[in-house]
Chain A
């Protein structure tokens, strides 16, 4: 029983494109954090999706218990996740940074399981959502989803802020130096350990922000981290490892791609195609479409 074909016209296609671009906003925040961590420490954070999940639950909790709207909750959740990132880095990741990448991969895999299981136990596996914004906004004949529009806006602002920080602040430059070559950075007097702490904390904070935004757009459940993880990778692979701006572009690309794939076939096939795309790009150009240099 495949889909009966729906009429296609320019407006519909524009609608699909718009949905796709907005979808990219949340992916961008997630991938940005992932990229940062990988760039500075060469660690693939397999627990990144779970950090997003925790951010989402935090937003849910704040909303349900004290009526805090998610956008306001960002101010609380980002520092919270930042702290968690610091903790993870200090206790666990720092021990395996200099080891072969597979060790850190498996370690973060373990962390992701731990966090998922803890969430399942604490929050039960029921599906939930934050009924925060709803409705659509009319823009040039297109119906844009209000919650997504807001999320995209916030994501863009946050991404721009982090980009500026990396580009122009002292610590931002320190991070980029450590990413390029930790040994040389150390010789130049940069506290490399601190830089790594900062990178992981910042990455986690961005994941938490992505989770907060996701909380009022998507459904929340403890296992949600896994899907976002793969999407995060797809974004980085598309946009380029180590390139923060590339990650944003990659996110929008993925959103567009998913949206059109779901339109052309159906939501299920679109999922699978995204993974195959990830695989093909990895084969052809492992450093990504805009990649600066390889890990």
Chain B
């Protein structure tokens, strides 16, 4: 325990550190090209990076968005690419984990040196990843997120693609009031997007004169909500609205059946509009409502083409998350055309003032915080094995069926 031995230990540690540092830098450095806009008319590919949840609690839905990104790349290249240059996209998997998302975007930006980025799935991941894109001044199209918290931070580089979470249930509330249903219960998962949904819904419901008989949050990754459902049963609501993701939407529905909790109108923010919802739950899914950012039956420009191409490439029907992902690509394309450049500052400018249509209902238009203003969400209901669009009236394909029959009566 003399000074000599101490020096040796310190030396070996410093050597370790030095070697590690060398090795790490060695493993870094994929030198990409075309960082801030090609002034020459070269054919080097435009590289776009994104991370999407291919696995994790929301892997099922994330994959729809990923497929859409890849489809968009294929289609844009068929049209000649962006500014005449082919598009190459790198999509990584963030497992619906916000930290991983941030790390991946940092890697894409600083290591892989991509030219542009597109957004991840889920508001929580987008919230985290956007801190990275904001720091490095990369415009981010939030093609998979909608919680308004994302736009309350005074960021300049984040742009919304579809309606904010707070407005998701406006259609459902309006329908409820039209049918004389006044008592509502609101539950939500305690994460970014569901909280936003619940807050907005509660405010709107109150404003329209509904009575909120019950409101509660449940933890993330909940596996049992029976006590909460027991309380709901006691409160006897007519409408139950869940700010939820796909796994909990299904959990709540199943446990409602198991505990014989009956309501006249049931709606979920995510999952209800997904084709898999009926596939997994079967008859139990019937009569459930949900907001949707896009439906295949809508007559929006390029929609049929998108639908056919998607089915051909992926052998399954797209979900609205595919559509929002695809729209993200379309908007990026329009912005590049408008700015006539890949310079990220010019793109930011373009995205702030752009107005364009996509396959989504309504149009792309953002306010001065980057929040989406022009998109129009629809409300769907499962009727048998099909979804019907029940609101707004000018896009409806069917009439809402109320009330929902009791579980035991099915």
Chains A and B share a contact (CB less than 8 Å): yes
**What residue of chain B has the Cβ atom nearest to residue A268's Cβ?**
B219
Q: Does B57 contact A (CB under 8 A)?
A: yes
**What residue of chain A has the Cβ atom nearest to residue B62's Cβ?**
A126
**Which of A3-11, A32-40, A99-107, A234-242 makes up part of the contact surface?**
A3-11
Chain B residues with Cβ under 8 A from A72's Cβ?
none
A-B contact count (CB 8 A): 123
> Contacting B235 at CB < 8 Å: which of A7, A16, A262?
A7
**Which of A42-50, A110-118, A217-225, A284-292 makes up part of the contact surface?**
A217-225
Is there contact, CB below 8 Å, between A7 and B222?
Answer: no
Chain A residues with Cβ under 8 A from B224's Cβ?
23, 218, 267
State how many angstroms separate the Cβ of B249 from the closest Cβ of chain A: 11
Most buried by A among B198, B231, B255: B231
Is there contact, CB below 8 Å, between A1 and B218?
Answer: no
State how many angstroms separate the Cβ of A131 from the closest Cβ of chain B: 7
Roughly how many angstroms separate A143 CA and B260 CA in the complex, as a whole number? 6
- For window 133-172 of A, CB contacts with B under 8 Å fall at 134-136, 138, 143, 145-148
State how many angstroms separate the Cβ of B60 from the closest Cβ of chain A: 6
Is there contact, CB below 8 Å, between A8 and B260?
Answer: no
Is there contact, CB below 8 Å, between A127 and B215?
Answer: no
Q: Does B114 contact A (CB under 8 A)?
A: no
Q: Does B212 contact A (CB under 8 A)?
A: yes
Is there contact, CB below 8 Å, between B219 and A4?
Answer: no
Is there contact, CB below 8 Å, between A134 and B258?
Answer: yes
**What residue of chain B has the Cβ atom nearest to residue A272's Cβ?**
B219
> Contacting A136 at CB < 8 Å: which of B221, B231, B260?
B260
State how many angstroms separate the Cβ of B299 from the closest Cβ of chain A: 34
State how many angstroms separate the Cβ of B232 from the closest Cβ of chain A: 7
> Contacting A3 at CB < 8 Å: which of B216, B258, B261, B280?
B216
Is there contact, CB below 8 Å, between A270 and B215?
Answer: no
> Contacting A224 at CB < 8 Å: which of B199, B223, B233, B260?
B223
State how many angstroms separate the Cβ of A146 from the closest Cβ of chain B: 6
Chain B residues with Cβ under 8 A from A8's Cβ?
234
> With A3-B231, A219-B247 known to touch, is A145 a contact of B223 (CB < 8 Å)?
no
Q: Give 10 A-B contacts (CB < 8 Å), ordered by A residue.
A: A3-B215, A12-B233, A19-B227, A124-B55, A124-B59, A126-B55, A131-B280, A147-B258, A263-B231, A266-B228
Q: 4 tightest A-B contacts by CB?
A: A262-B227, A145-B258, A143-B260, A3-B216
Besides the known contacts A2-B216, A16-B230, A271-B219, 8 further A-B residue pairs in the complex with CB atoms under 8 A apart: A12-B231, A15-B233, A125-B95, A129-B251, A131-B280, A258-B227, A263-B227, A270-B227
